[in-house]
Copies of this chain bind each other. A is one copy, B any other.
Amino acid sequence: MKLDNRGLLIVLSGPSGVGKGTVRSALFDMPGHDLVYSVSMTTRAPRKGEVDGREYYFVTREEFEKRIQENKFLEYAEFVNHYYGTPADIVEKQLAEGKEVVLEIEVQGALQVRKKLKDDAIFIFIAPPSISALYERLKARGTESIEIVNARYEKAMREIKLAYLYDYIVVNDTVENAADKIMAIIRAEHAKTERTIAEYNKLLGITEMNKKG
């Protein structure tokens, strides 16, 4: 029985190369959940096969900047002359429908969301099992030069120091372990008294207003 019908906003983040995308995939492959992936908004043109509202919401630069003015992004950034952002109103609608909205974003974006939402989202930091594992992953990624790998490594080393700002730290030792732990976090968060007490009181006909003292 569920005492909490609103979905949770789950921010999955972690350093470059930690395997956020793989963990997120494994999480979505698990049975019996109501997870949805947050679709970003962008000003770049759709590529062949991309559908508006599926890969991205495609908007004009004017529209995007208007939304920035109206404070309608949980986070946004500009890369190579194009904006990318998480539309707050769309996320809010999904949460109200009981969907668990998963945001898989970089550390800087996660910190923007944290600033905006404080305790209204669950911040999970995906950590590498060791520095050398992270470096190996960054190297194995592609055919980039050693300079690019090292630059990514420097960035990752700055990012791993920000784990303390998150609610949970989950080590990506195996993808299955990490996904399992994240699912446990989601289930536990839904049982928290702050999220369940209203429905609980209704269910049992408790009318007094109790205040935590």
Using a CB–CB cutoff of 8 Å, the interface residues on chain A facing chain B are 1, 3, 124-125, 127-131, 160-171, 173, 177, 180-181, 183-185, 187-189, 191-193, 196-197, 200, 203-206, 208, 210-212
* CB pair B171 A181 closer than 8 Å: no
Q: Which B residue sits closest to A183, measured CB to CB? A: B184
Could you say how many copies of this chain the assembly holds? 2
* CB pair A191 B187 closer than 8 Å: no
How far does the alpha carbon of A193 sit from the alpha carbon of B185 in the complex, in Å?
Answer: 12
14 residue pairs from A and B, CB less than 8 Å apart: A129-B203, A130-B203, A161-B210, A163-B200, A164-B193, A164-B212, A167-B192, A168-B188, A169-B200, A181-B191, A184-B185, A185-B187, A185-B188, A187-B188
Given the contacts A200-B169, A203-B130, A208 and B161 also touching, CB distance less than 8 Å: yes
Q: For A170, list chain B residues within 8 Å (CB).
A: 191
